[in-house]
Structure 1
Amino acid sequence: MQIVTPEFGLIFWQLVIFLLVLFLLAKFAWKPILTSLREREESIDTALRMADEAKLEMQALKAGNEKLMAEARLERDRMLLEAQKMSEQLIETAKNRATEEGSRMITQAREAIQTEKNAALADVRNTAAQLSLDIAERILRRELADPAAQTQLVDSYLKDVKLN
């Protein structure tokens, strides 16, 4: 039964050793252990705060990024609209120039045709006048070959002319 119930001396020495170990631990070990525990707790709190701050910063960056993307989309749409307007304006300008050039060419062609027509008419008139003169000359030669006919023709012209 001695194994189960210890004697007084054993309990005393165990108590003395326990108190001695407790004193040594309190004197030398507890302060560094508690200090390191506090430091660890503070570093964990700091890390958690930094993680929260990083999370908030990431959310702010994400919102800013979305805002920039929206602005970029608006700018792209504006530029596309402006380019479309410019292309429509260029097409309209080209159409106007083509219409003006066509009108100018038509006007020039009409003027050239009119000039050619006038020249042809003048040529026809000249030819007709020349033919008329040739025919008149031949008729007069035939009719005036006789001197009596010449005298009669001069007399008829003189009757037609009225003197003042």
Structure 2
Amino acid sequence: METLLNDFSPGLFIVQTILLLGLIFLMVKFAWKPILNSLNEREEGIQGALDAAENAKKEMANLQADNEKLLKEARAERETMLKEARDIKNKMIEDAKEEAKNEASKLVAAAQASIETEKKAAIAELKSQVATLSIDIAEKVVREELSNKEKQTKLVESMLGEATLN
């Protein structure tokens, strides 16, 4: 340190100070503004990129919210369509059952009417056959009874005895 103080020259110090000030002046005049401009441009570029990234992030969040909303709407619409399809299916099944019941009722009613008609026809035919058989039997019995004169008289008397006068 002492050697420094011994070797100190005020003229050299002034020249070096002037040179340093000149260099600083030249730097400020020619290099400082371009360096600051390039730093400012770089900062603005970085800030613009950050702003663009933030905007993209917000837009992605909005798109994601819109996608969720559309997905919910699509699910709700799908559920509505499925419910309508189930309702239509159930209605068609109920209509088919009702139609089948009506058709079965008509068939049963027609069958019962047919059975009743055939029953009446069978009863009428049976009565006719019974009447025919009764007449045939009565005719044979009467022929047998009336073939003999004595039996005819007895029959007439017996009928007169059973007949009541009003």
Is 2:139 aligned against 1:124?
A: no
Deviations 1:98-137 (Å, cap 9, x if unpaired)?
2202211210220121122123213312321231232133
- Counterpart Cα distance in 1 of 2:135 and 2:72: 93
Identity %: 45
Q: For 1:113, which of 108, 112, 115 is the aligned residue?
A: 115
Matches of 1:96 and 1:6 in 2, distance apart?
123
User: Mean alpha-carbon deviation: is it higher for 93-102 or for 16-25?
Assistant: 16-25
Letter paired with 2:4: I
Q: Which residue of 2 is the match for residue 58 of structure 1?
A: 60
1:93 pairs with one of 92, 95, 109: 95
Q: Once structures 1 and 2 are overlaid, which stretch shifts more, 32-41 or 135-144?
A: 135-144
The match for 1:21 is 23
Q: Say which is worse superposed, 79-88 or 38-47, in terms of deviation.
A: 79-88
Task: Write out per-residue CA displacement over residues 34-87 of structure 1, whole angstroms, 9 at most, x where no aligned residue.
Answer: 221011111122122223322332333233233323322332332233223223
Cross-structure match for 1:37: 39
Question: What displacement does 1:23 show?
Answer: 4.4
Q: Which runs of 5+ in 1 are unaligned?
A: 153-164
Q: Structure 1: how far apart are the matches of 2:135 and 2:15? A: 171
Does 1:79 pair with 2:81?
yes
Equivalent position SS for 1:6: coil
- Is the deviation greater in 100-109 or in 10-19? 10-19
Q: Give the SS at the match of 2:4.
A: coil
Q: Residue in 2 aligned with 1:2? A: 3
- 1 CA distance for matches of 2:32 and 2:3? 36
**TM-aligned CA deviation for residue 27 of structure 1:** 4.5
Instruction: Give the CA deviation at 1:141.
Output: 2.9
- Out of 23-32 and 109-118, give the one that drifted further: 23-32
Structure 2 residues not aligned, in runs of 5+: 154-166
RMSD of Structure 2 on Structure 1 (CA): 2.9
Point out which structure has higher relative CO (alpha carbons under 8 A, 6+ apart).
Answer: 2
**2:9 alignment partner AA:** E
TM (norm. structure 1) is 0.72
